Amino acid sequence: MKVRMLTAMAGDVSYAHGEIVTVEDRVGEAWIKAEIAEPATTAAAAEKSAKDLRARVAELEASLADAEADRDALRIQVAALAEQNAALTGSAASGAGSV
């Protein structure tokens, strides 16, 4: 069984953190249970995972672009409303003085 080490181990044989090693199934399963190691991913599984992540990144980039467009539209609306408010507030203030 191939496992990826989550911790370093030293003894008769030494393993580094992140190293992929081949051990007997019973040893690998015990290490996985003890959270010393995790099952090693195969190249195909790693490529599928990378492909899935690239697709998710593309989705998030599209969502971000939509959100930025919405933000820009809202900023324009806020500026227009601020101008209208200033015009109405200025008209009311000048009208109150002429009574």
Where are the chain's structural domains? 2-39
Q: What local confidence, expressed as pLDDT, does residue 36 receive?
A: 95
Q: How confident is the model at residue 97 (pLDDT cuts 50, 70, 90)?
A: low
Q: What strands, in cross-sheet order, belong to the sheet with 37-39?
A: 20-22, 2-5, 37-39
Write down the pTM of the prediction. Answer: 0.48
54-82 pLDDT, tens digit per residue, is 999 999 999 999 999 999 999 999 999 99
Whole-angstrom distance, CA of residue 93 vs CA of residue 87: 10
